[in-house]
A and B are shown apart, each in its own frame.
Chain A
Amino acid sequence: MAPPTPSSHRPRKRRKPDSSNGTVTLNKATKQEQPTFPLVAFLWPARTANVSQWIIIPIILMVAFLFRWCTSLWPYSGYQKPPMHGDFEAQRHWMELTIHLPMTHWYFHNLEWWGLDYPPLTAYHSWILGQIGHFVNPSWFALYLSQGMDDMDLKVFMRASAIVSEYLVYIPAAVLCVRQLAKLHNINAWESSIALTAILMQPATILIDHGHFQYNTVMLGFMLATTASMLAGRPLWSCVFFVATLGFKQMALFYAPAIAAYLAGSCLFPRLDTPRLFGIAIMTLASFAVLFLPLLLGTAFDTYRSVPLPTDAVLPPPPMSALPWQVAEKAWYYPYLVQLTQAVHRIFPFARGLFEDKVANIWCAVHSSGIHKLHGYDSTLLSRAALALTLASISPPCLLIFLKPRKELLPYAFATTAWGFFLCSYQVHEKNVLLPLLPMTLLLATEGGMKPATRAWVGYANILACWTMFPLLVRDELRIPYFVLTGLWAYLMGLPPCSISAYTASYEDGGLSIVSKLIQLSTYAGMVAWHVAEAFVTPPAEKPDLWVVANVCLGAAGFGICYLWCLWRLLQESGILSDLGLDKKSVNEKKAQ
């Protein structure tokens, strides 16, 4: 065999990539560099060969696609589960109703069978997908006849639509956002690629969107685009994207206070910037106008054709009655106002309960653990309490980002605010945990993001979040994908239960403090023990929900700690502490929480 002669082609090493970000460790025995966790090993060949981003990114995207599509092979929520089926049927039904009904009926159509209760962008998205699906096979979306359909080809179409939507919105936004973060934090392209892979392989997102079936990544993608625009110093674009985020799913309100605070702060500090303030206000209003424009145009068309509203429509919609002035039915703008208020009425259902099902937030944990039963209280009182607690939890991060509107703080501020909402607010689903997870996972792409401490915290939140969704995933028969994807991600990131390497680093080397280590490792132990118990021990007859309740309580506690950690990091990074004269030493002490 001939010896390798590197001179025959272009040189392999152009420059030594700087590996400050915790991806490379020096083996003390052999004096050789080695990958810190397995994900780095997979990109290792790209490091030494200095491969172009035009090759690495497509490969990452194809691998991410493969795992998503293979998850899609598994059952979806409500598969062959009459009478109501599940989220899959909801999304399919929206396609059915948007392509067949006049636009004025969209928000009035039968609420009982998965009525449309998402903002207009979801409706338009459903309309487009419905049109394409109708072109392929009209029976999939035949009005009324197609309800509860579980045709295999329909599954392929729906799964493909989720992936295509994700690859059109979430994926480009993620690439751009990671690139902006790399620019901001001066991180080399190779380490950014590692972070990008870790973000794209987030198990919770894959499981919910491609297993359970939803289009969360579209909303999260717009959020990433918002973040990327802010990082790129384009606040006007961020307004457009954030309106799109909100317009796709109202749950994006979790981020809204932090975004408003940042944008407002960036107009006021270091000095008042009036044109920017006006620009932001006008752009936001204009975006909202564009968001509702198709609905209003559709209303105009239906009014022109004199299409009547459904017979069971309740007029006027409740928010309209709450308007301070009386609207005459003869007024030209009456039909438009009816549509807008009905949409708002559907999107924000104040009449529902404090929490839905079992979700790992404060209310559900307090209620179901038996510390204090909440069903005796008046619902207005409870919703006020929820509002007060939410405000209390989100005001510190919002205040901080308002006073220190720095780009480096954005992921922390978003994550803290979203955790606050998730833990304390009204009407939260277990799936909403994706919202705080996204900005928190983005931390991997920031400076020191893959050093043991940050990696462990980000991993902790992600794995805990998947674990709290386990009861939901079991209902969808997604037990195996749950174990595979969560296990794979934990393995790739070098985290428990696959490895404890992130916990062996000392605090001085960028590791965790003792208290954090204890908290995290004991939570992991709890999760593992819970899985064993859930699999082999039947709960006592008088407490059939014991395991679910245990899941909720441990989850809520863990998420609470994640909230505190994000808040603490935000406080640390903002520099407020040193402004106030608190020195580094006290910082270290407080870090232990």
Chain B
Amino acid sequence: MAEYPTLLQTSLVATALKVLLWPAYRSTDFEVHRNWLALTHSLPLREWYHEKTSQWTLDYPPYFAYFEYTLSQLGRFADENMLHVSNLGYDSWNTIFFQRATVIVTEAVLIYALYLFIQSSPAASKKQSHAAAASILLSPGLLIIDHLHFQYNGFLYGILILSIVLARKKSGLLASGFVFAALLCLKHIYLYLAPAYFVYLLRGYCLGPRSIFDIRFGNCVKLGLGIGAVFALAFGPFVYYGQMEQVFSRLFPFSRGLCHAYWAPNVWALYSFCDRVLIYGKIATMKVPLKDGADLRLTAAPYLKLAIDRDAVNSVTRGLVGDTSFAVLPNISPRMTFILTLAAQIVSHPLKNAPRQQKLKPNIQTHQPALIKLFFTPTWHNFVSTLTLCGYASFLFGWHVHEKAILLVIIPFSLLALTDRRYLGAFRPLAVSGHVSLFPLLFTAMEGPIKVAYTVTWLVIVLLAFDWLAPASPQPRVFLLDRFALLYIAVAIPLMVYCSLVHQLVFGARYEFLPLMFVSTYSAIGVVGSWLGFLVVFFTS
């Protein structure tokens, strides 16, 4: 039986809205991608990773560069001028229409992947899969990041979901591995999910189902050769030119701080927030002058007890955004993260991540418990759960995390949220906090109503629909958690009102960091809460 509205119907209406968004605000990422179009089109391959006319150098892996090259071949017909490297900041109407249109067209991959996802799900959960697919298709995260801010996440997550869906059948495991390898060569942020793939393919494809000592050499060779070929195709030319060091220095820039400028809602945002509160606490109780000598006047503070001399506040914010030094709490150093990682392994929960020097690798340690569970019971459900946990860990503890990376958690989790009501309970705060945390990406007056109205509409529809569709869970739920989630969701409303209206009316342009900090801290609580909830559900079921 078909479910209505069908994916095709939904995507057509969504496309109408997305086309209407063409003249809307676009971030510098638009210029980034235009520059990549230009440089892949007009320069030979060997100069791609050396070109630096624009400050937005190519810092995605080669497949994405090939992808841009393909687009640029079509772009010639839209506007030749956008393909000149020296034409910095070029944004004619045709350029905008062309680039925006490519985002919409390449999203077809996502629609196709979601279609396959519904097709591959068992008849009993077709309805649920359909709802999950529609929720991903209409995700406000994708709308905000792709169609306003400007990126190609719809396309990339489409490939990810394609790979996840292929992994559902034994026969598709090999293809799934290849697709994921290709995805890694499109955007390396997906390395965060690689441990789950590694374990799942190792156990499910390379080792026999009976015993882990039943090694299937034929499969190992096939997988190894295939993935090797995918990578060779991507990096081969650059190895040939002897540019690998240059390519890697572009892909993994090391000079960034612990927190991204906007404070992605992770553990470090909470940590920074505690630090901030402690600073004010100290000042309020001890009335000491701050380190840099700025005299802190505790004003009458009619609105917030935190209203303090602007210089001092700015110095504190700068410290947080830049090289991440904390005023009261200890700074985060590689040694501490190491100790925390050890501690996390002792309590056997995924906890700590990323000493500064090895940004991406340590995930393998951090997810051990979940990965071990996946290793011993390599079901598709456990695989997607582990992917979600990998996403969570990297987002929560990673070094210099973008708020956009929340999709790495939300999208795999959406595929699971309707498993039963306990999963839904963990999903709800994530759905709210993850999308609210994206709001600071759009700060222009014209786009404000779009992000709020779209997200609220999506949340209302998705939370209600999921509520109707989620089957009861075999295990009893923790009702207190549900109450907490409800309270948490309710708090979002005054928070949004404050951040979008009240703050500006009361303070004008002053204390601009306050709404950002509130959104980030609020969202961090939600993400951490949903992570804990998901851990409980995953390890008890």
Contacts and interface: CB of A to CB of B under 8 A. Distances in A.
A65 B461 contact: no
Contacts of A75: 23
Interface string B61-101: 00000000000000000000000000000000000010000
Contacts of B300: none
A160 B450 CA distance: 12
A42 B460 contact: no
A73 interface: yes
A61 to B, nearest CB: 10
A484 B4 contact: no
Interface stretch (A30-38, A108-116, A184-192, A534-542): A30-38
Query: Main secondary structure on chain A at its contact with chain B?
Result: helix
A292 interface: no
A178 B456 CA distance: 25
Interface string B431-459: 00000000000000110011001101100
Interface residues of B, number: 43
Contacts of B23: 73-75
A304 B13 CA distance: 59
B16 A488 contact: yes
Contact of B471 (A1, A62, A487): A1
A492 B456 contact: no
Contact of B124 (A3, A40, A45): A3
Contact of B468 (A49, A65, A153): A49
Contact of A491 (B6, B12, B456): B12
A44 B13 CA distance: 15
Contacts of A5: 471-472
B124 A55 contact: no
A153 B457 contact: no
Contacts of A65: 449, 453
B19 interface: yes
B147 to A, nearest CB: 10
A2 B19 CA distance: 40
A62 B453 contact: yes
B6 A41 contact: yes
B289 interface: no
Interface in B368-412: 381
A480 interface: yes
Interface in A43-101: 44-45, 49, 51, 55, 58-59, 62-63, 65-67, 69-75
A152 interface: yes
Given A41-B9, A484-B16, A488-B13, A69 B450 contact: yes
B476 interface: no
Contact of B24 (A42, A45, A73, A492): A73
Given A73-B24, A152-B446, A38 B9 contact: yes
Interface string A1-35: 11111001100100000000000000000101011
A71 B20 CA distance: 6
Contacts of A62: 453, 456-457, 460
A481 interface: yes
B453 A66 contact: yes
A35 B5 CA distance: 9
A156 interface: yes
A484 B419 CA distance: 37
Contacts of A485: 16, 20
B277 to A, nearest CB: 34
Interface in A120-158: 152-153, 155-156
B130 to A, nearest CB: 10
A332 to B, nearest CB: 47
B16 A44 contact: no
B125 interface: yes
B4 A156 contact: no
A158 to B, nearest CB: 11
B420 interface: yes
Contacts of B9: 38, 41-42
B13 A480 contact: no
A278 B192 CA distance: 79
Nearest to B125: A1
Most buried by B among A30, A63, A71, A155: A63
B465 A45 contact: yes
B149 to A, nearest CB: 15
Contacts of A38: 5, 9, 12-13
B22 interface: yes
Contacts of B461: 59
Contacts of B2: 34
Nearest to B21: A70
A153 B504 CA distance: 15
B347 interface: no
B16 A487 contact: yes
Interface string A482-526: 001101100110000000000000000000000000000000000
B44 interface: no
A63 B446 contact: no
Interface string B142-168: 000000000000000000000000000
Contact of B474 (A2, A30, A59, A159): A2
A42 B10 CA distance: 8
A554 to B, nearest CB: 26
B305 to A, nearest CB: 30
B453 A67 contact: no
A534 B1 CA distance: 44
B450 A42 contact: no
Nearest to A38: B9
A63 B20 contact: no
B315 interface: no
Given A1-B471, A2-B474, A3-B124, A69 B19 contact: no
Contacts of A74: 20, 23
Nearest to A47: B4
A82 to B, nearest CB: 20
B280 to A, nearest CB: 33
A156 B24 contact: no
B4 A63 contact: no
A60 to B, nearest CB: 10
Contacts of B486: none
B249 interface: no
B472 A73 contact: no
A300 B465 CA distance: 60
Contacts of A45: 4, 465
A59 B124 CA distance: 29
Given A62-B453, A153-B445, A41 B468 contact: no
A487 B12 CA distance: 10
Contact of A156 (B13, B22, B445, B471): B445
Contact of A32 (B1, B419, B450): B1
B17 interface: yes
B473 A2 contact: yes
B464 interface: yes
Contact of B5 (A32, A42, A58, A484): A42
Most chain-B Cβ atoms within 10 A of its Cβ — which of A3, A70, A481? A70
Contact of B446 (A1, A32, A73, A491): A73
B425 to A, nearest CB: 14
A65 B460 CA distance: 15
A156 B122 CA distance: 48
Given A58-B460, A62-B460, A485-B20, 20 more contacts: A1-B125, A1-B419, A35-B4, A41-B9, A42-B9, A45-B4, A49-B468, A51-B464, A55-B460, A59-B457, A65-B453, A66-B17, A66-B450, A73-B446, A74-B23, A480-B20, A480-B22, A480-B97, A481-B20, A488-B13
13 contacts: A2-B420, A4-B469, A4-B471, A41-B4, A42-B4, A58-B460, A59-B461, A70-B17, A152-B446, A481-B20, A485-B16, A485-B20, A488-B16
Interface of A: 1-5, 8-9, 12, 30, 32, 34-35, 38, 40-42, 44-45, 49, 51, 55, 58-59, 62-63, 65-67, 69-75, 152-153, 155-156, 159-160, 480-481, 484-485, 487-488, 491-492
Task: Give me the 5 closest cross-chain CB pairs, A-B, nearest first.
Answer: A44-B4, A70-B20, A41-B4, A8-B472, A4-B471
